[in-house]
Chain A
Amino acid sequence: MIWAAIVIAIAQVAVFVVLAPLVVGVMRQVRARLEGRAGPGVWQPWRDVRKLLRKNPVRAQGSSGMLRAGPVAVLVSSLLLCVLLPLVGTIPFDLIPSDLFVIVSVMLIGVVALALVGLDSGTAFGGMGSSRHMTVAALVEPTLLLSVYALSIPAGSSTLSLIVQARLDTPEIIISPVSVLAIVALAIAIMAETGRLPVDNPGTHLELTMLHEAMLIEASGRDLAWLELGSWLKLAALLGLVANLVVPWGVVTDFGAFALLLGTVTIAAKVLVLAVLLTVGEVFLAKVRLFQVPELLAGSFALAFLAVTASYLVA
């Protein structure tokens, strides 16, 4: 079992490191085409990373080590997400199962590291992005925990692998009202957490609207490469989680070479399809004002809370 878990973890990391920039490239390309632009092509994020790794990073004099360590922490946090989440397969490690609270905390390491990188730049932009980013992160957390809590009740465990497994075994719970409510709430939380529309506009560099980009503004060279790669990996991994919760078929439950291949192909297909759907949806959305974001999050929290109490009292 432990070998199966290790192989799947390695496969997940490998697949997502390759896939994440591609997902972002596809999203940007689809958006460009829908807006009537030619677009840079789906491989542009890869080329960006290669370019950044070849540049000399420029750092402020007298800045602390945070500008160097923070980006690595962001990337490590995202890679840990890829290791722990049930993406290619649902075979968890015995000692660190894909426990909901552990995964959220691992994600928060990246959130904190990014916010500190933003503050360390010592400019108004970095602080502004960091402050807004942390405010959104603080308000997202209740929804995030409660929506997965609602999904965990039918499975009887907070381990995400077991939740996906349970949905695979009894597919009728996927379309139960409780599950739909919880998935919608989770989707809103993930959009906010990964800085997508309508909470943050990943394409903008307009100073008053930036959240995520404002924190990266002083980073350059490989520091910037790690920050970008980290945020792409997080987006791809969380899309993969949602995909597996909605369409659990294809996930490796019994270890084998063919199953692994099938799992890899299906998760890649699921993430890409979901990414395209997300982009198409985003084209029709405008970014909401920063001070309306809490209302959106309060709404998603209400959905998640309804899902939890309903699954206790109805089921």
Chain B
Amino acid sequence: MTVLGAGLILQLALAAAAVIIAFTAAPALRARATGIPVTLLALAGIVTGAAAMSGATGGIRLPLALPTDPLILAPDPLGGLFMVIVSAVGVLVTTFGIGSATGPASSRTAWAALPVFLVGMQLVPAATDSVSFLLAWEVMTLGSTVLLMADHASRASVASAGIWYSAMSQLSFFLVLAGFAVLAAATGGTSFATLATVEPGSGAANLAFLLFLLGFGGKAELVPFHVWVPRVLPEAPSHVSAAMSGAMVKIGVYGALLVCVRLLPEAPPWWGILIMILGGASALYGILQASVSSDLKVLLAYSTTENMGLVFLGLGASVLLRSSDAAAAADAALIAALLLAVSHAVFKTTLFLGAGAISHATDERNLDNLGGLGVRMPWTAFSFGVASLGAASIPITSGFVAEWMLLQSLIHGGRLNGEVVSVAASVAMPLAVAVIALTAGLALLTFVKAYGIAFLARPRSSAAALAREVPPLMRVSLVLGALAVLALGLVPGPVAAVVAATFGPQTALAAAPVGLNGVALPGIDAVLDPTMLLVLSALVALPILIVIAVSARRHPARHSALPWGGGGSRARPRMQYTATSYAEPLVRVFDDVLKPSRDVQVTHVGESRYLVERVTVQQKVSDVIETRLYRPLLNVVQRYGVLARHAANGSIHRYLTYSFVAFLILLIVVSL
């Protein structure tokens, strides 16, 4: 048996063991007893994935007597990379979950669902045929749905989120299934190798592409399929939302890469443009909603839509550039998309775990009630801060490297050897740069708001004032995540080289390590060395620090209750800016897109028109796509659903008539 085969079987065995332990262990021991095999399962996934990336071949063949191609699980290097991403998130999430899960989130069912969810995600990238791909996909969906529903008995919003999640997951599944079906009908097989033989540019290829794009885009939270995200991710227990956003969403990205790189590599330009439009719209809409959100987990959920939008923007650019023969820029864009996915997995997991730590310490998700957590929870503050820098693409984090590479590939994509590549590219590239720039700017505001309001200033509620740092195990996984964000950002050269190699030897040449672990893109002549940047900042900071040291000895800092306080000594913490007021200018600027509903109620004192007793302001920003697109659709469906009730009134005679008519139609169709 090969290494990969042994690894896959070990994962399945560990998952089974974890499920059994979850159901049998005593409640007091359950979290630890189940957590250990689940962590081992994730570690086994990392090892197997790394082996696949390093070129190991082999796998396991599922014995099944179906009239299809054989079901083989054998990850290729690209699948191995995604297995590593998913499993690494799994390790962080499980260690955090052992410490944090309480109440319903720590029930028997919830702990049994976690290994099912993880093993499902780890097996999707291992599949080499559509049937096993879809099977693993459904295992993943099943596990995540059960995990999400952990708390359904006590909170109604969880049940509603569960329905949205199930419906949207099944929509994605159906679209992907339909995509595979179209390809299978055109090629006569179910393995990826057979499906890839479909004729490029044929109707079947185009139709399959559209179905796949919508299906995988739905899983990757792209607009307009993102509606489940702001409901589901906030309602799930924090470590589960971290796993969903950090890992499961990447499976959607993997699917899209599988389509664009393996199944349908010869794409016409319009595919690229379509992916770019979908990605760009998601990036802008996601970050706009995130920037005006005051609920920390809703903010992070929408920001996931943004990040996935950027990944798809990179993927689309790569498809468009490859169809115009700008291979170097196309390769760089592809690597950038993958690096964005890798870095998103790390920083978004850490951010969701940080949100989990905050709600563990304060029982609060609303930023408007937080504040001053930096001094009370220093470890969480450090980790959340570093991950926020990653999300805002500030050097020296992983997010910065990925976004830099994407921008470089875009600005060098419009031209090839001094000639304009194509008119489409020369309009699409500047627009894409503008979209990324605006997205990056808004992301900066979003994460300054998230970090600044939660961790800085003075506590805005007693819950925040009484917050204590989380237990050690949760701290460990938070700090590990933050260190990974920094590490990926400081050594981009080796990381980019490893990532590039997963696409094959040709793409591997597009990114090379240079200098102090810096990255160079030889095809488009760009160099980045974050370590050198760090050294340079240390050098310029040195004189300042010396001046501070000298000055601090002579003029030590004094501390006062409130140094100036805007001229008023009675400035209470409630008078500080909140997350809602922080985003208020932005809500006004993007009034037309966000359509906020504002309600101002002024209560006057007695008879006076001028003396005000109380002012109440309520502002609600709802999801425009949900209210304008889904609500009308659901209303129509509901109306016809009521009509359909008349057709199915429970009468057995009527049902027999239906069967008879259906049988007749079938016979007529067959006889034609």
Contact = CB atoms under 8 A, between A and B. Distances in A.
B393 A149 contact: no
A135 B445 CA distance: 7
A94 B548 CA distance: 32
Interface in B420-437: 420, 423, 426-427, 430-431, 433-434, 437
Interface string A49-89: 00001111111111111101000100110011001000000
A227 to B, nearest CB: 12
Interface stretch (B156-164, B470-478, B582-590): B582-590
Contacts of A275: none
A292 to B, nearest CB: 10
B536 interface: yes
A262 interface: no
A232 interface: no
A116 B451 contact: yes
Contacts of A108: 392, 394, 444
Interface residues of A, number: 84
Interface in A123-164: 123-128, 130-132, 134-135, 137-142, 144-146, 149, 152-153, 156-158
Contacts of A66: 374, 456
Given A58-B563, A120-B457, A109 B434 contact: no
Given A101-B408, A145-B437, A122 B585 contact: no
Interface in A175-213: 207
Nearest to A79: B540
A128 B559 contact: no
Interface stretch (B49-57, B115-123, B253-261, B525-533): B525-533
A220 B340 CA distance: 40
Interface stretch (B5-13, B144-152, B568-576, B638-646): B568-576
B437 A135 contact: no
B469 to A, nearest CB: 14
Interface stretch (B79-87, B318-326, B512-520): B512-520
A257 interface: no
A218 B563 contact: yes
Nearest to A56: B555
Interface stretch (A31-39, A241-249, A279-287, A307-315): A307-315
Contact of B430 (A63, A115, A149): A149
Q: SS class of chain A's interface: helix, strand, loop or mixed?
A: helix
Contacts of B584: 131
B299 to A, nearest CB: 15
B575 A124 contact: yes
Contact of A142 (B437, B585, B589): B437
B441 A95 contact: no
A291 B585 contact: yes
B561 interface: yes
Nearest to B539: A83
Contacts of A137: 441, 444-445
A130 B452 contact: yes
A240 B307 CA distance: 35
Contacts of B423: 313
A105 B430 CA distance: 19
A278 interface: no
Contacts of A55: 555
A121 interface: yes
Contacts of B1: none
A105 B394 CA distance: 6
B404 A83 contact: no
A59 B557 contact: yes
A137 B525 CA distance: 29
Interface in B352-367: none
A8 B573 CA distance: 49
B530 to A, nearest CB: 9
B448 interface: yes
Given A60-B563, A116-B451, A156 B415 contact: yes
Contacts of A130: 448, 452, 577, 582
A138 B587 CA distance: 13
Contacts of B437: 141-142, 144-146
Given A64-B375, A139-B589, 20 more contacts: A63-B375, A65-B374, A66-B374, A80-B533, A96-B536, A101-B407, A102-B395, A102-B404, A116-B452, A122-B371, A123-B576, A124-B575, A130-B452, A130-B582, A138-B442, A139-B438, A149-B430, A158-B412, A308-B433, A309-B426
18 contacts: A57-B558, A79-B540, A83-B536, A96-B533, A96-B536, A101-B407, A102-B528, A109-B394, A115-B448, A120-B457, A122-B573, A124-B571, A127-B576, A142-B434, A145-B433, A152-B411, A158-B411, A308-B433
Interface of B: 291, 371-372, 374-375, 381, 392-395, 400, 403-404, 407-408, 411-412, 414-415, 418, 420, 423, 426-427, 430-431, 433-434, 437-438, 440-442, 444-445, 448-449, 451-453, 455-458, 514-516, 518, 525-529, 532-533, 536-537, 540-541, 544-545, 547-548, 551, 554-566, 571, 573, 575-577, 581-586, 588-589
Give 6 nearest A-B pairs by CB, closest first: A127-B577, A138-B441, A119-B452, A312-B426, A141-B441, A64-B374
